[in-house]
Amino acid sequence: MPKRENISMSVIRRLPRYHRFLSHLREKGVTRISSTELSAKLGLTASQIRQDLNCFGGFGQQGYGYIVDQLCEEIGGILGLRNQYKAILIGAGNLGQAIASHMSFADDGFSLVGIFDSSPFKIGNRINGIEILDMEKLDAFCAREKPVMAVLCVPREAVSELSDHLCQLGIRSFWNFSHYDIAVKHPDAIVENVHLNDSLMTLCYQIHNASHQTAQVEKE
């Protein structure tokens, strides 16, 4: 499976959606699907889907479509989901607890090996069998377990110093919920920023826009 260089991030961001949908089809016992059928289910054009998949080599056969199990495995391989990269989570507040409890890290290419917090009310508790450790134990833990990714669920003002320290410990990949731009200080870090407010505001716009369009129609 040849991989092309300089793949657009817009293509990469569609791959998890393909993988999730194909996994669902596989669970339902579907063995084959065409790009036309995929496009109808995903709200994309068949041409877009073919172009995306062609970035990574040839999949499917004209007139036959895609073998669901094979394509699902191939996309999983492209995404690196079999690697089980070691990850830690810092900040066991409401958001951190929700992520540690409900995210399927193992299905998404990671193994959550440690959870850290500085609150004495949280230290010692367990989430999904993982003990919440004192931040003072972070250095020794990282030296022993060698995690490569950190989930940051801490206040924005704490991230500058924390990200510096994590980079010194060898962690240079971040799933960042803090609204702090880590890449400014660490341009070589791999950062996936998650802004839940952005998603909510986008939804607000869509509701507002739909209401405005409805009002315009009613006036006419």
Q: Which residues are annotated as a binding site for NAD(+)?
A: 91-96
Looking only at the bridges linking them, the beta strands covering 110-117 and 85-90 are parallel
Q: Is 208 helix (H, G, I), strand (E, B) or coil?
A: helix
As a dihedral over the C-alpha atoms of residue 150, residue 203, residue 97, residue 173, rounded to 10 degrees, the angle is 0
- Cβ atoms of 74 and 54 within 8 Å: the answer is no
As a dihedral over the C-alpha atoms of residue 191, residue 197, residue 203, residue 205, rounded to 10 degrees, the angle is -110
The DSSP 8-state label assigned to residue 137 in this structure reads G
- The residues, ordered by sequence, that sit 6+ positions from 165 with a Cβ below 8 Å of its Cβ are 138
Helix (H) or strand (E) holding 48: helix 46-54
| Annotated binding-site ranges | 91-96
Q: Give Cα separations from 46 to 8, 24, 28, 53 (angstroms).
A: 18, 19, 22, 11
